[in-house]
Amino acid sequence: MKFEDLAKKQYEDIDNLSVLLKNYVDAYRLLIAGASELNNVNLTKKSEVRKALDRVENVGELIDKLVSILDKCEGSYLKYCKIKSDYITISTEKDKIFTEIDNELNFQNSEREEY
């Protein structure tokens, strides 16, 4: 497997983990709102509120684990991106880029003159 393919798969993993994290954070926020509503209802038993808060805490622990995993994964991916960018910057010749831009501008100007 080429290193670029490996980096691409790692990016996909990071993206999937990010989506999962977003879903957990959304669920966490809804659970907190639900626990708050339960706490404001006079007929709610304190044990029900505690159970709701326990669920919030469990999801919070999952979020912490996901953040830790993302922190570990993104380091190597970001390092790959930086090395690739540095290499492209070093090996890119400005003259070639300027020539491409000039050619494109000349082409666009020649198209306009025809009208």
Spans of all domains in the chain:
3-114
Q: How far apart are CA 18 and CA 27, in angstroms?
A: 14
Tell me the pLDDT of the chain averaged across its residues.
85
Q: pTM for this one?
A: 0.62
pLDDT at 96: 79
Q: How far apart are CA 21 and CA 26, in angstroms?
A: 9
96 vs 59 pLDDT, higher one: 59
Rounded to the nearest angstrom, the gap between the alpha carbon of residue 83 and the centroid of all alpha carbons in its chain is 20
Residue 68 pLDDT class (50, 70, 90 cuts): very high
Q: Distances in Å between the alpha carbon of 64 and those of 19, 21, 31, 50, 83?
A: 15, 9, 16, 21, 29
Q: How far apart are CA 83 and CA 73, in angstroms?
A: 16
pLDDT beyond 70 at 112 = no
User: What does the pLDDT look like over 8-38, one tens digit per residue?
Assistant: 888 888 899 999 999 999 999 999 999 888 8
pLDDT at 111: 65
Range 41-54 average pLDDT: 87
Residue 93 pLDDT class (50, 70, 90 cuts): confident
Q: Which of 56, 68, 69 is nearest to 26 (CA)?
A: 56
Query: What percentage of the chain has pLDDT greater than the value 90?
Result: 30
